Structure 1
Amino acid sequence: MAFLTIGFLLGLAAGFAPGPVLALVISETLAHGLRSGIKVALAPLMTDLPVIVATVFILARLTHFNHILGIISLTGACFIGYLGYESIRSQGLRLADGQRAPRSLTKGMLTNLLSPYPYLFWFSVGAPTMVKALQLDPSYALAFIGAFYCALVGAKIALALAVETSRSFLSGRMYIYSSRVIGVVLCILALGLFRDGLRLLGFALICG
């Protein structure tokens, strides 16, 4: 249940966080309708698998190198903390003017591949969590990744629907408050990662 919850919360945060894929979801929905926005929202499902496999494979070979894993965990804590901070200070999103050139699923896939966020997330947060889950039970890893992508894609599709039906949603109070709540949760998760990192680096007394 813990890995399912963590996966869902991280996916939800990633889905709502401003970034190149989210911007493309919004602009495609404005310019070409809901169907185009949904196609872009599905792009991570088509592009992230090689990143996941590579990062999990690398980190699985580092399970006995606690100092390296500790540094990675601290890096992940900083990354998640940054996302949390950005979510807390969010003032909403500015809508695109809808005058961009036509896009497609291929464009969405390229945007996701060229964005640094999937690589940062999976190397610093996603893959370490997957390795930990696999060591306990493979079903935990499946729960984590399934919940993550359901929330990630679901959040972007929900935003596409919001743009289609109400252009004021992305700058309205509901989006801002939701973003801030997610930001607080991310900061709590970042503290947990920071604590794990200190433990791996040998600061057991500090961590209790």
Structure 2
Amino acid sequence: MTLFLTYVLLGLSIALPVGTITVEMVKQGLKNGFMHGWAVGLGGMTIDVALIISLYFGLANLLTQPILQSIMWLIGAIFLCYIGIDSIKHANQGITMVGERTTKSWWASYRNGLLVAVSPGNLVFWVTVFGTVLASSFDNTEKGDFIVVGLGILTGILIHDIGLLIIVATSRRVMNKTAITWVSVIAGIVLIGFSLYFGYEFWRSVWN
């Protein structure tokens, strides 16, 4: 139980700083309500779960290869640039006020969560966090610890997401369409900023 709670706190602390998933969750939560923000979070957690399973079966060694890291920087830059531009371009569209029925597909929000989560930063985080556990993952006596660590971190992220979306849902009740539109524009600019950073890291990995 102590091991589990320790990694719940780690998952929570990792999720607290503003990142690409947080930005997209806030945007979708304000524009379309709690469930769409939650869909983004679930999309991100789907990638997290897939990475945990992949790391368990040896993906860590593959992810440390420089060429693959360069490719992931480029993919992350493209995805975030696409989502950022789309956020700005459609900032005043698809806004559902409290009491109105949203027209946006839940799966579209989930897909955005998936795309945003496919980033080098996310991959590096999982490789780093599970580095010490991976060393003993093939020891039958330690496999249970690996699962507990993974569940603990995912639980911490889940607590963060629910808490954040409760705040967003509450704020949404007192915001008008203009305010939500500007939040969407700012979110798009932030995502493009992350995209430029990823692009810089790709360029540096290729030319250095």
Bucket of the pairwise TM-score, normalised by the shorter protein? 0.5 to 0.7
Which string of whole-angstrom CA distances, capped at 9 and with x for unpartnered residues, describes residues 34-90 of structure 1? xxx4x7755666775453132253552323321122111111011112222233331
Which of 188, 192, 197 pairs up with 2:193? 188
User: 1:132 and 1:87, CA in 2 relative to 1: closer, same or farther beyond 3 A?
Assistant: farther
Using structure 2 for the length normalisation, give the TM-score. Answer: 0.57
Q: Percent identity?
A: 17
Aligned length: 171
- Which residue is 2:117 aligned to? 122
- 1:33-182 alignment to 2 at 5 Å? 37=34, 49=45, 51-55=47-51, 57=54, 60-89=60-89, 90-91=91-92, 93-95=94-96, 98=100, 111=106, 115-125=110-120, 127-131=122-126, 134=129, 150=160, 152-154=161-163, 156-163=165-172, 165-166=173-174, 169=175, 171-172=177-178, 174-182=179-187
CA contact under 8 A between 1:84 and 1:187: conserved in structure 2?
yes
Other structure's SS at 2:204 match: helix
CA contact under 8 A between 1:87 and 1:180: conserved in structure 2?
yes
Q: Which runs of 5+ in 1 are unaligned?
A: 26-36, 101-110
Q: Confirm or deny that 1:10 pairs with 2:20.
A: yes
- Tell me how far 1:177 sits from its aligned partner: 2.3
User: 1:80 and 1:190, CA in 2 relative to 1: closer, same or farther beyond 3 A?
Assistant: same
User: 1:5 and 1:203, CA in 2 relative to 1: closer, same or farther beyond 3 A?
Assistant: farther
- Tell me how far 1:125 sits from its aligned partner: 4.6
**Aligned equivalents of 1:135 and 1:22: distance in 2?**
35
CA contact under 8 A between 2:21 and 2:117: conserved in structure 1?
no
User: 1:62 and 1:6, CA in 2 relative to 1: closer, same or farther beyond 3 A?
Assistant: farther
Other structure's SS at 1:130 match: helix
CA contact under 8 A between 1:8 and 1:147: conserved in structure 2?
no
